[in-house]
Chains A and B, each alone.
Chain A
Amino acid sequence: MEAAQFKSDQYVRFCPGCGDHAICAALQKAMAEIGVETYNTVVISGIGCSSRMPHYLNTYGFNTIHGRGGAIATGVKTSHPELTVWQMSGDGDCLAIGGNHFIHEIRRNVDLNICLFNNRIYGLTKGQYSPTSPKGFQSKSSPFGTVERPFIPAELVMGARGTFFARTLDVDMPNTVECLKQAQQHKGASVVECLVNCVIFNNGTHNWIADRETRAERTILLKHGEKMLFGANKDKGLALDYSKGVIPQLIVVAADDERVLTHDAHTEDPTLHRMLALMGQERFTDVNNADIEQTLPVALGVIRDVEAETYDQAVGQQIEKIRENSKVKTFDQLLGTLEQWEM
């Protein structure tokens, strides 16, 4: 299939320069490569800039109400597991007003592909801080800086027993397409955190890692089964250091160090996945951390991808099993099971 088949007739109204344009194009490309027909694909969204996405995709789409995309997507997928269901959401829609639905769709492991557009700001309401804005962040609703601690989405996903987490940058089309495709292949709730730039209200929020000059040194693209190497010349690697106290620490070593780890996204134990996902997050959780020296790279790519029974399959299978074993199959037969008498 071609990406063009997934383009709707609607004019794309994201602001010029918004990171959502890139994710939109990546979605169309990924959907075409995945190859599920447009009519068997459903895209659900809540409210926010990213939630306009269904309008630009030539699939079945439903742009619903603020925060509830996760619950509505759960209803679509659970009732019709044969459909491929995507959810488009932002850091406000998904982590603030829709936080409850977000953790429960992950906990249940509903087979959804959830794109979490994280620009660390409320764009559509014109510039308030969000649950992922760093502490101290100044915005229209926090003119003197926020005093609250932000979420790190990966930590929330793993805390909710998530089975798939990937992270990508709007400016990195190949990795975005790859993460979206793997999210679709994964059976269960797949969360892809798309770090997107808000050109109007939070321009450059991800520059520290998105900048083309320094990206290779400040990020690491994790791939299952491959050594954890990074740097422009792939001269650095990640290893575990067991020398400092009880809890091992991730450290940067030379690429040829025998301790360099190989990425295993399929390990059920989330400990290392969590450590990898939290690398380099200090800078994004507190504005005062902008100047601290940071040696660990921010992890991109598919960090966690483990198998577990999906809710939608389990619900359907339980019904099928009980129906098969039941002698009562029609409504009239059901009436026959009641204590009844002639009057």
Chain B
Amino acid sequence: MQKQTVVVRFCGDSGDGMQLTGNMFSSLSAILGNEISTLPDFPAEIRAPQGTLGGVSGFQVCLGNGVYTPGDKADVIVAMNAAALKVCTLGSKFNVAGARYDETESMYKKNAVVIVDTDSFTAKDLEKALYKTDNPFTELGIPETVQIVPVALTQMTKESLKDSGLDNKAVLKSRNMFALGVVCWLFARPIDKAIHFLEGKFAKKPALIAPNVKVLTDGYNYGNNTALNINTITVEKAEDLAHGTYTSIAGNKATAWGLIAAAHKCGKRLFLGSYPITPATDIMHELAARKDMGVMVVQAEDEIAGVCTAIGASFAGDLACTSTSGPGLSLKSEAVGLAVMAELPLVVIDVQRGGPSTGLPTKTEQTDLMQAVYGRNGECPAVVIAASTSANCFQYAYEACKIALENMTPVILMTDTYLANGTGLWQLPKLAELPEIKVQGVPQELKGHYNAALRDERSVRYWAVPGMEGFEHRNIGLERDSKTGAISTNPENHERMVKARQAKVDQVADRIPLLTVQGNTKSDTLLIGWGSTEGHLHAAANELNCALAHFNYINPLPKNTADIIKQYKKVVVCELNNGQFATLLRSKVTGVDFKQYNEIMGQPFAVERIVEHVKSL
């Protein structure tokens, strides 16, 4: 069976290694020439009680040719236990008594292949997963069109490793490799490539290579030899990609590397002040490990200290960043205001999650937009930009640094759980080919006359840093005199300064790309999105044969924003919140009837729901 794209979902207990398995399969597929888009979906608890519904961890990947999203629903499911089967089958209704398979709720299609570990369906397993009967398939109402493939994963893994010397616990942990072997066979992945990849993965734990290779191979051979009663699936290779060198990368890692690239490009040291917070912490992990790149990381005592140490490093002349999520951005607000007032370069990364308050820490949402644009006391403009794929987190992290250093302003970079944890193909750049960064400096003739209020013709403050003789000055969070830089409460001066800071942020619009339109530009209908929804909206626009304007620059907006929007009759702003970008656009672009499509379920969009809604308008 040949397919353009296929969606595979691995699901099991939190301890079953589903994220690792899913990542390995995705990377392997990418190496073999597929485009990929992944969606890790795991609970907030580190280890919920084994075998329970709350402990189900999932990993979905779409692979093939023309991949824009991880897919709405899976073609192939690997369910490692009874709880996982239930959650996949019932979707958000998994907790509803008596719920049965329903095509709109289920995580897999009605003609999907569902591989289950039959050894994990004992009476005890069924009880833990709150089944009422001893026949889960009937109880869940799984339609006959779904092809159930029972595999005694646990037994065969034990058999495979009986001479390995591994203890029972370690043997059971290897079940995921048997499953991976079966899936590799199903998708006709050459086993030698998989083994090679596995060896690379376990390079630092050589003792684990042999047993894992054995289980993987046995899983593969099981599929091959017993000729499981299913057809193997071949997936089309990517065709439209630019020729080049690729890797697969998660958004948080791409973000971290974008910051490093910017620091190396402009010759400044990268400083990160941060505090652990889901889902942003991997950025700190990655940068803390990159001391070979000269990166300095301070794990601060709290979110406020995270941004404040960064502001200190910026004052002293570093490329300074802080990484956080929504609750942390709230805590940092006052300090971001200080950086606005002191006109210091600062990159603030907000990996958005479900809110408000602690909200849904491991789920995705776009609900911090207003907080990023307006969430500070006073007239407090900062630049706000957003990445739109896991891979382009690199590009926009780099861009955030460039804008901050060239315009002496805090830049808030928005990503989210979906981009942060998901992976996509990334064409490797070369440092020399990345855009130049012209760090704002100070003219030598100001030596002896410098103060922190002096700015250039673009309204950008000159930047002198400690250690420069003759440029000693006092910077402040208080209002300053526009000429002398000293504390000032003069009414006209305050208004002048408010406008100067606004003008500085506004002129960034002269330095960013114009908005472009994707899809059928001749259509009457324009979808609008921003940030992580680009893939889903692109796919929806294709299906609807309409146009899409997707925003990476939020504040300031691209200069041609109004011109483009006004060309369309029906304008639908689609976002994973209650309409924040739509509200912002209404305040900036008048005379347009902005319609909205919003989902706030902690999940990425489903393309089919967007299509259905837009058609109904």
Assess whether B103 is interfacial by the CB under 8 Å rule. Answer: no
Cβ of B466 under 8 Å from chain A? yes
Interface string of B383-427 (1 = CB under 8 A from A): 000000000000000000000000000000000000000000100
Question: What is the total number of residues of chain B having a CB less than 8 Å from a CB of chain A?
Answer: 73
Q: Complex Cα distance A39/B471, Å?
A: 7
How distant is the Cα of A331 from the Cα of B33 in the complex, in angstroms?
A: 26
B152 at the binding interface (Cβ < 8 Å):
no
B308 / chain A contacts, CB cutoff of 8 Å: 64, 68, 71-72, 74-75, 101
Is A64 touching B298 in the complex (CB atoms < 8 A)? no
Q: Which among B293, B308, B478 has the highest number of chain A CB atoms within 10 Å?
A: B308
On whether the beta carbons of B244 and A343 are closer than 8 Å, the reply is yes
CB distance from B336 to the nearest CB of A (A): 11
Contacts of A78 in B (CB 8 A): 296, 298, 309, 312-313
Q: Are B246 and A75 in contact (CB under 8 A)?
A: no
Do residues A71 and B474 form an inter-chain contact, with CB atoms below 8 A? no
Q: Which residues of B (336-354) have their CB < 8 Å from a CB of A?
A: 337-338, 342
With an 8 A cutoff between CB atoms, is B292 at the interface? Answer: yes
Chain B proximity mask over A326-343: 1 for CB below 8 Å, otherwise 0:
101111101100111111
Interface segment, one of B37-45, B106-114, B125-133, B299-307: B299-307
Contacts of A83 in B (CB 8 A): 316, 466-467
Query: By CB atoms of chain B within 10 A, which of A40, A55, A82, A319 has the most?
Result: A319
A55 contact from B246, B298, B474, Cβ within 8 A: B474
User: A79 — which chain B residues lie within 8 A by C-beta?
Assistant: 269, 271, 296, 312-313, 316-318, 320
Contact status B312-A39, CB under 8 Å? no
Chain A nearest CB, measured from B257 CB (Å)? 8
Say yes or no: A71 contacts B466, CB within 8 Å. Answer: no
For B30, give the chain A residue with the smallest CB separation: A341
The answer to the question of A281 belonging to the interface, with a C-beta cut-off of 8 Å to chain B, is no
Complex contact A340–B312 (CB within 8 A)? no
Q: Are A341 and B313 interface neighbours, CB within 8 A?
A: no
Q: Which of B438-457 contact A (CB under 8 A)?
A: none
Choice from B30, B316, B478 contacting A63 with Cβ under 8 Å: B478
Contact B244 A342 (CB under 8 A): yes
- A72–B320 Cα distance when bound, in Å, is 12
Which A residues lie within 8 Å of B177 (CB)? none
A59 interface residue, CB < 8 Å from B?
yes
Q: How many residues of A contact B (CB 8 A)?
A: 55
Distance, CA A79 to CA B475, complexed state (A):
18
Interface status of A58 (Cβ within 8 A of chain B): yes
A288 to B311, CA, bound (A): 44
A60 to B298, CA, bound (A): 23
Q: Give every chain B residue within 8 A of A332 (Cβ-Cβ).
A: 430-431
CB-contacts of A126-162 with B (<8 A): none
Chain B residue, CB-CB nearest to A311: B298
A314 to chain B, nearest CB (A): 12
Known: A39-B470, A104-B305. A329 touches B311 (CB 8 A): no
B486: interface (CB < 8 Å): yes
Give B463-499 as 1s and 0s: 1 = Cβ < 8 Å from A's Cβ atoms.
0011111111111111000000011000000000000
Q: Which residues of A contact B473 (CB under 8 A)?
A: 60-61
Instruction: Assess whether A100 is interfacial by the CB under 8 Å rule.
Output: yes
From B264, B294, B313, name the one whose CB has the most chain A CB atoms within 10 angstroms: B313
Given the contacts A71-B304, A74-B298, A75-B311, A82 and B241 also touching, CB distance less than 8 Å = no
Residues on the B chain within 8 Å of A76, using CB = 312-313, 315-316, 466
Report whether B305 and A334 are in contact in the complex, using a CB–CB cutoff of 8 Å.
no
The B interface, classified by DSSP as helix, strand, loop or mixed, is: mixed
Instruction: Please give me the residue from chain A that is nearest to B245 by CB atom.
Output: A340
Whole-angstrom CA separation of A77 from B296 in the bound complex: 12
Most chain A Cβ neighbours within 10 Å, of B273, B301, B473: B301
Task: A343 to B30: give the CA distance in the assembly, Å.
Answer: 9
Cβ < 8 Å to A, chain B residues 56-96: none
Whether the pair A326, B292 counts as a contact (CB closer than 8 A) is: yes
| B426 CB, nearest partner CB in chain A, Å | 9
Q: Point out the residues of chain B lying under 8 angstroms from A328, CB to CB.
A: 292-293
- The reply to whether A58 and B472 contact each other, CB–CB distance below 8 Å, is yes
Question: Between A and B, how many residue pairs show CB distances below 8 Å?
Answer: 197
Chain A residues whose C-beta falls within 8 Å of the C-beta of B301 in the assembled complex: 71, 100-101, 104
Query: Which B-chain residue is minimally distant from A97 (CB atoms)?
Result: B304
CB pair B472–A39 under 8 Å, yes or no, is: yes
Of B244, B260, B291, B487, most buried by chain A (CB within 10 Å of CB) is B291
Chain A CB within 8 A of B261 CB = yes
- Smallest beta-carbon distance B9→chain A, Å: 24
B264 touches A75 (CB 8 A): no
Cβ contacts A23-55/B at 8 Å (1 or 0 each): 000000000000001111110100000000011
> Given the complex, which residues of B lie within 8 Å of A41, measured CB to CB?
466
Cross-chain contact of B474 among A62, A77, A80, A315 (Cβ < 8 A): A62
- Tell me, in angstroms, the Cα distance from A243 to B419 when the chains sit together: 69
Inter-chain contacts of A8 with B (CB < 8 A): 474
Residue among B305, B474, B476 making CB contact with A100, cutoff 8 Å: B305
Q: Which of the residues B265, B292, B466 comes within 8 Å of A323, measured between beta carbons? A: B292
Q: What B residues does A275 contact at CB under 8 A? A: none
| A292 to B20 Cα, complex, angstroms | 69
Distance, CA A316 to CA B260, complexed state (A): 17
Task: Let me know if B27 is at the binding interface, CB within 8 A.
Answer: yes
A326–B311 Cα gap in the complex (Å)? 29
Shortest Cβ gap from A161 to chain B (Å): 14
Task: List residues of chain A with CB within 8 A of the CB of B27.
Answer: 339
CA gap between A73 and B309 in the complex, in Å: 7
| In the complex, A125 has a CB within 8 A of chain B | no
Report Cα–Cα, A62/B313, bound state, in Å.
12
Query: B291, A318: Cβ atoms under 8 Å?
Result: yes
Verify if A233 is at the interface (C-beta below 8 Å from B): no
* A200 located at the interface, meaning its Cβ lies under 8 Å from any Cβ of chain B in the complex: no
Cα A37 to Cα B260 in complex, Å, equals 32
The answer to whether the Cβ of B335 comes within 8 Å of any Cβ in the partner chain is yes
User: Could you say which residues of chain A place their CB within 8 Å of the CB of B247?
Assistant: 338-341
Q: A114–B410 Cα gap in the complex (Å)?
A: 28
Q: Which of A62, A65, A72 is B334 in contact with, Cβ under 8 Å?
A: A65
Residue in A closest to B476 when the chains form the complex, CB atoms: A63
Interface string of A304-326 (1 = CB under 8 A from B): 00000000000110110011001
Which of A8, A79, A80 counts the most chain B CB atoms within 10 A? Answer: A79
Which residue in B295, B312, B317, B337 is a CB contact (below 8 Å) of A73? B312
Can you list 27 pairs linking A and B with CB atoms under 8 Å apart? A10-B474, A10-B486, A37-B469, A39-B467, A39-B469, A39-B470, A40-B466, A40-B467, A62-B475, A64-B476, A65-B338, A71-B300, A75-B298, A75-B308, A75-B313, A75-B320, A78-B298, A79-B320, A80-B313, A100-B302, A323-B292, A334-B290, A334-B293, A335-B430, A339-B200, A341-B245, A343-B243
Other 20 A-B pairs with CB < 8 A, given A65-B477, A78-B309, A80-B313 = A39-B467, A42-B315, A55-B474, A60-B465, A61-B472, A62-B475, A63-B474, A65-B334, A68-B304, A72-B308, A75-B310, A75-B311, A80-B467, A83-B467, A322-B292, A331-B293, A335-B428, A335-B429, A339-B31, A342-B245
7 closest Cβ pairs, A-B complex = A75-B312, A71-B308, A75-B309, A326-B292, A71-B305, A79-B313, A61-B474
